Amino acid sequence: METISSRLINWASILDDKTREQALATAQLPFIYPHLALMPDAHLGKGATVGSVIPTLGAIIPAAVGVDIGCGMIAVRTQYTLKELPRDRRPLREDIERVIPLSAGHNNKKIAATAAPRVAELRRRADKAGFDPGRYMGNWDLQLGSLGSGNHFIEVCADENDGIWLFLHSGSRGIGNKIAQHHISVAQGVAWDKRLTLPDRDLAYLEEGTPQFTRYMEELRWAQHFALLNREEMMDRVITQFGKWVGGAVEEGAVKEMERINCHHNFTQQETHYGKSVWVSRKGAIKAEAGDPGLIPGSMGTASYVVEGLGNPVSLNSSPHGAGREYSRKAARKAFSLAQLKEAMHGIEFRVTEAFIDEIPAAYKPIDQVMRDAADLVRVRHRLRQLVNVKGD
């Protein structure tokens, strides 16, 4: 842990100058309380740093939550061990790719039977919140159960005891992005009207008690729940395909869930820290109160971690959410090749394509270094290694 200033505490041993400057600028906003906590995976983001915990008094910065509202992880520990799995993993990867829409803009062709109750729940929540998600995106309901692209993934992993885990990373998809972009624009409009001076226009904020703040919070909470249910829906489909692949079993309960963890890492909620009630925006960070279960993925081809929070008060009970980029996507495409990606993914079943070059492990901070930096934030319960990796273009 490093105290950069009284308003910025840093856990990242790998931190470039631009990211440090961005975090310092955010930390100087007058409503930050008590300080901004920079996680070990911190890197440059839109307005606010990815991998930061931003507590605010009486205000919310929509861009500090991120445009993928509610993005996070879900993992299920099964009853199976590595020796019980078929040797050929390609059929499982292809079956998962068949039942889950993968890439940006891809949706289900119709609402699946498993998704229907979840869609109905989201409609009820939207009605209660007083807004129509359809005004942002007409086919939002068909997105439930879809992965997206970028660093979103589905994996089959083995832990240190060869126990098998199903693991995936996704968020609120296009509907969450459109909600976020709308409210970022609203906040920027408010800042313009008030002639506010900000270090970055993407740090525009909404003040508690205003109609704009109330509307954002209602829609934010809805999008966070969409993201959680989206992960649940995909995981149910992955479990079904995994059961068929392992033993041809299709009946419910063929795969026993020994444990299920579902956690956000782009979200806001009200918490009490240092004696005051604050809005805590975790942009690329997970809540890590004492005993909280959590998931910290590495990049494709490296390890992921199942953790338990230690409740570090200086970190505002938070921990990193992943490895954190060292290369931008554009820079990674220039620096690395498909041959290097294949070498990094040796022994892991994945779809070989140049579309994934910008996700090569070398484009990210070493996940094991991130976890060493986080030693006073979380306790490691399991270290997972990848067997199968599924991604969207």
pLDDT at 250 over 60: no
Q: Is residue 147 part of a domain?
A: yes
Q: Is residue 2 part of a domain?
A: no
**Domain membership of residue 330 as a residue range:** 72-262+288-391
Taking Cα atoms as reference points, which of 302, 305, 309 lies closest to residue 286? 309
In whole angstroms, give the CA distance from residue 277 to residue 316.
12
Percentage, residues of the chain above pLDDT 90: 89
Overall domain count for the chain = 1
Catalytic pick among 35, 43, 106, 321: 321
pLDDT at 105: 83
Beta bridge partners of 60: 206
pLDDT at 252: 60
Q: Is residue 21 part of a domain?
A: no
pLDDT at 135: 95
- Reduced 3-state DSSP string for 245-299: HHHCCCCCCCCCCCEEEEEECEEEEEEEECCEEEEEEEECEEECCCCCEEEECCC
Q: Is residue 275 part of a domain?
A: no
pLDDT at 253: 64
392 HSE (CA, 13 A, CB side): 21
The per-residue pLDDT for range 46-101, each reduced to its tens digit, is 889 999 999 999 999 999 999 999 999 999 999 999 999 999 999 999 999 999 99
Dihedral sign for Cα 209, 123, 100, 287, please.
positive
In whole angstroms, give the CA distance from residue 346 to residue 164.
19
The per-residue pLDDT for range 208-242, each reduced to its tens digit, is 999 999 999 999 999 999 999 999 999 999 999 99
Distances in Å between the Cα of 77 and the Cα atoms of 57, 192, 382 are 39, 49, 11
CATH number at residue 157: 3.90.1860.10
Has 321 been annotated as catalytic?
Answer: yes
Report whether 285 contacts 265 (CB < 8 A).
Answer: yes
- Say which residue the tokens 């070493």 belong to: 366
Percentage, residues of the chain above pLDDT 70: 98
Q: Is residue 28 part of a domain?
A: no
Q: Is residue 318 part of a domain?
A: yes
Q: Is residue 132 part of a domain?
A: yes
The per-residue pLDDT for range 131-163, each reduced to its tens digit, is 999 999 999 999 999 999 888 999 999 999 999
pLDDT at 201 over 70: yes
The per-residue pLDDT for range 93-133, each reduced to its tens digit, is 999 999 999 988 888 988 888 899 999 999 999 999 999 99
Distances in Å between the Cα of 21 and the Cα atoms of 5, 43, 192, 266 are 12, 11, 24, 21
Q: Is residue 232 part of a domain?
A: yes
The per-residue pLDDT for range 303-351, each reduced to its tens digit, is 999 999 999 999 999 999 999 888 999 999 999 999 999 999 999 999 9
pTM (2 d.p.) = 0.95
Taking Cα atoms as reference points, which of 363, 344, 361, 341 lies closest to residue 352? 341
pLDDT at 113: 84
pLDDT at 112: 82
